[in-house]
Structure 1
Amino acid sequence: MSTINIPRESTMQEIAQALNLIAISVTGQTPEVSTWASVQRIVRSGFGKKAFPVGSQLRVQHETYGEIIWDVVAHDYDKDPNGRMEHSMTLLSHDCVINSIQFDNTEALYKAETTMAAGTYHFTLLAGYDTSYGGGKTLQFTLTKAVPAGGVVMFPWSYNTQSTATKISTYETQVSTTALETVTVTEGTGGTDLGTADGKGALNHTHRIRYGSSNWKESALRQMLNSDKAVGTFWTPQTKYDRPPTWNASIAGFMAGLPADFLEVVGICSHVTKSNGIHEEADELNSSYETQDRFWLASYSEVFGGMENNVADGTQYPYYSGALAADRIKYNSSGAARFWWLRSPNPWVTYSVRLVRPDGSVGSDYAHSSLGAAVACAIY
């Protein structure tokens, strides 16, 4: 009697996968792909460019944001930082996944390294900056309650508002949202001198006490995109002046709503982002730094190509090579063209982040503004 050897299920799967890869190699056509794991295998095999050419679309369902349509924007661009995988496929959401979200919030003026006693203090705003609204003035205030070590002093000087009309509020910690007290300011030099708000001494830079930080590495939005945790549980201060974003008590981590099988194939990638030329807490000015993320925002150079202030953060995605302005327009869930964040700063200020306007042109806005977010990731 003859014996028939029946292949194991795993062997049959490997055979089917091999046949799929042969079909791609011979015909250049994409076979039916039923799982994210099969997409990953095709990418790893080196046939991703044929199976999913730039401009192809894939879809995934998010529990909070609904269906996400991913555009394939590059191959072998975002790489495994450990060098284990030779091939990758970069995805960017076709439209804004999130309709409106703050990049980073207004920052603290001062952090108390030791207890800040009740009493009178004064500080000076950045010279030559927005002088029509009180820039450069020296302001004083009097606290009736001590600020404990680790607490912060806020001076949220708004756009087109006189600095003397802005009030000081103090908080027990960087994450506190209930003020210890709120007091008025007046012009004057009474009490203890806290210094000048230029980011060089004990005080934060004036730009950032008004409009937040344009640094992607330190941003609240970066934390949100790379977290799978619940509302209010994942944001932590990244600098001594950092404050909770306005959405901290209402938005869960982006990864929390994605299917497990999709997350299993999305890898951590290294990215270069430029720094501005005015002030940074930790990085060289007018330079660049590296982050490692599973989900991120595209950079100025990746969307528009080229450099700003002689610094590039990446190279242009093939998807945008030769693109018209209309090709860069993204819409919100209601179908309206939306401003959408990039991760790059406007290099000539410390508070402004690059974006794509609703007409597809480049622009910038305050980090504390709430705009759309188009999300990128890579499979390898």
Structure 2
Amino acid sequence: MSEISAANGEKYEISGTEIKGVNGKTYRITGFDPDSLATKDYVDGEISALTSDDIPYDNSESSLEATNLQDAIDEMAALLPGKIETWRQIQDVVRRGLASSYYNVGDSFEVNKGQSTLIFDVAGFDQDVPITSAAAAGSGSSITGVSVNFSTFLKKTGFAGDFIFFFSGGRWRNQLGEAVNLSAYGISVTGTEAEGDSFEVSIPHTMTLKLHSTELTGDLVFDAPEATWYINTTDFPNGLAAGTYNFTIPSGYSDRGGKTYQFTLSNAVPVGGSVRYVWDSNKIVTYDTVGKASKDQEALCTEGGGGTAMPAVSEERIKRTRYGSCKWSESAIRQWLNANTANWWNPQNDFDRPANTGKAGFLEGIEPAFAGIIKPVYKTTKVGNDAVQRIEKIFLLSKSELFGTADTTEGDAYSYYGAGASDLPAPGVGADSNRVAYSGSTAKQQWTRSANDGSAISANFVMTGGEIQATYASWSLAAVPACVIY
């Protein structure tokens, strides 16, 4: 057993190719021959002394930059958890691909938010796709382009990093020389490959965090009930004049399906305004601008076909008028999660209405050093039968990321929730204590970003027992924000 000092004065024990750090963990440095450490106890086979501080070190198999053992020790010492004191140092650990060596899934970090403290748990490593991920053909290659589904690539490799593929002997090969099927990695190339062609795929290492408790988020509406008509220049070139109007509820929808109602406006609604049928009170309310918080007028609806017919409304539009929209990309909760001011809400479509506006954005008061290392990633969310990929910074987890479904279009289950951590033997919507979120000691229902299959108005949420169900977007439930460091 030998001991070596790092530049910071800490002592590290070396045994073979292992280094025991001050935090009690053992780290393995690859790329050097322990026999080069000349003095050896041949009874138990352990290294007993170092012959030099400048023992050559091959860093090609590690994430270190050092070229000798002493520098490798210094480099590792600077990255040990006990020595990491800033968010930038944590980011550096992640970028080097060393985060999973120093932290475990479920480990927690404290983040200042104003006078309060948020707790974030590690949800997984190398499970997200940074927007800086890239692929490029090598210099002089015959192929003209490389396209990569980075999510498929990560699923195949199991980790991020820099990868080189080359064409040799009529086959594409990885950097170990093994023949590979590019499609299995989500890779396609354009052009005709030739001997010696190559390309590189680069995916930065990541560490994903999710909020531990919901005390400081409270309950939030996913999306507010929307307007029924938008006053556009096509249907209303001069706005909606004062007067009497009628509309018909789509046949077959609820007990009012097929019924016609009329209402009378005392004042005109200008172009750019909106009109909403309030189902519960059977009234019409108008707004002079899209997203205006306070109504400009209201009128009672009565059965009858008097006056001018309003443009026909679809059943989906009536539903969204009652219950809001489950479309994540346009949701109020998505805006709130990524806002750092008190006045954060903006309409995302012509029918949008304000929600959660009494709450300052989630990022308001978050310590700047932490906010500075949260980076955007690509996230896929299904809308009906379509899978839409968008850039997300602060986001909610999807049904599949919570181990809720075998359909992983919206992402694989994070390690925090997946097989071995879950109460369930396979992905499912049943009770799972590992999915339960708490506010203090109280279990809370929490939103996911996933729409309920086939619905325009309901989103999936996690119940207090960890079951996954769906409810209307206009309900108020807790939120468990997630983010990614790289």
Residue among 310, 313, 321 paired with 1:197? 313
Q: Does 1:208 align with 2:327?
A: no
- What is the deviation of 1:51? 1.2
- What is the deviation of 1:179? 2.0
After superposition, the C-alpha distances for 1:326-362 in whole angstroms (9 at most, x for unaligned) are: 1111112x42110001001112321111110011100
1:180 aligned partner, one-letter code = D
After superposition, the C-alpha distances for 1:110-161 in whole angstroms (9 at most, x for unaligned) are: 1111410112222222332222xx2342222111210011111111213xxx
Q: Contact between 1:207 and 1:349, CA under 8 Å: does it hold in 2?
A: no
**What's 2:98 paired with?**
47
**What's 1:220 paired with?**
332
1:19 to 1:305, Cα distance in 2 relative to 1, 3 A: farther
1:174-185 correspondence to structure 2 within 5 Å? 174-185=290-301
1:1-380 correspondence to structure 2 within 5 Å? 19=73, 22=76, 30-63=81-114, 66-83=116-133, 86-96=204-214, 97-114=216-233, 115-131=239-255, 134-158=256-280, 165-198=281-314, 205-229=317-341, 231=342, 233-245=343-355, 247-248=356-357, 250-276=358-384, 286-306=385-405, 312-322=409-419, 323-324=422-423, 325-332=432-439, 334-380=440-486
Distance 1:62 1:335 in 2: 21
1:238 to 1:17, Cα distance in 2 relative to 1, 3 A: farther
1:139 aligned partner, one-letter code = Y
3-state SS of paired residue (2:336): helix
Q: Contact between 2:126 and 2:206, CA under 8 Å: does it hold in 1?
A: yes
2:76 aligned partner, one-letter code = I
**What's 2:154 paired with?**
none
The higher radius of gyration belongs to: 2
The TM-score with structure 1 as length reference comes to 0.82
3-state SS of paired residue (1:234): coil
3-state SS of paired residue (1:303): coil
Aligned pairs, number? 336
After superposition, the C-alpha distances for 1:257-300 in whole angstroms (9 at most, x for unaligned) are: 11010011110111000113xxxxxxxxx211122121010011
The TM-score with structure 2 as length reference comes to 0.65
Q: Contact between 1:307 and 1:313, CA under 8 Å: does it hold in 2?
A: no
Whose helix proportion is higher, 1 or 2? 1
Distance 1:17 1:370 in 2: 54
Distance 1:366 1:215 in 2: 12
Q: Contact between 2:132 and 2:204, CA under 8 Å: does it hold in 1?
A: no
Distance 1:266 1:180 in 2: 41
**What's 2:19 paired with?**
none
Distance 1:305 1:318 in 2: 13
- Of all paired residues, the percent bearing the same amino acid is 35
Distance 1:170 1:62 in 2: 38
Provide runs of 4+ in structure 1 moved above 4 Å. 14-21
Whose strand proportion is higher, 1 or 2? 2
Q: Contact between 1:147 and 1:172, CA under 8 Å: does it hold in 2?
A: yes
3-state SS of paired residue (2:95): helix
3-state SS of paired residue (1:49): helix
**What's 1:4 paired with?**
none
Distance 1:295 1:218 in 2: 14
- What is the deviation of 1:307? 5.0
2:321 aligned partner, one-letter code = I
Distance 1:20 1:298 in 2: 38
Q: Contact between 1:62 and 1:258, CA under 8 Å: does it hold in 2?
A: yes
Q: Contact between 2:77 and 2:83, CA under 8 Å: does it hold in 1?
A: no
Distance 2:300 2:251 in 1: 21
Distance 2:222 2:121 in 1: 23
Q: Contact between 2:78 and 2:84, CA under 8 Å: does it hold in 1?
A: no
Distance 1:369 1:17 in 2: 57
1:42 aligned partner, one-letter code = V
Q: What's the Cα RMSD here?
A: 2.4
- What is the deviation of 1:17? 10
Distance 1:372 1:135 in 2: 34
After superposition, the C-alpha distances for 1:53-95 in whole angstroms (9 at most, x for unaligned) are: 222221212127x322111111111222122752001111112
Larger RCO (CA under 8 A, 6+ residues apart): 1
Q: Contact between 2:404 and 2:468, CA under 8 Å: does it hold in 1?
A: no
3-state SS of paired residue (2:402): helix
What 5-or-longer segments of structure 1 have no aligned partner? 1-6, 8-13, 159-164, 277-285
Distance 2:406 2:334 in 1: 22
Distance 2:103 2:483 in 1: 15
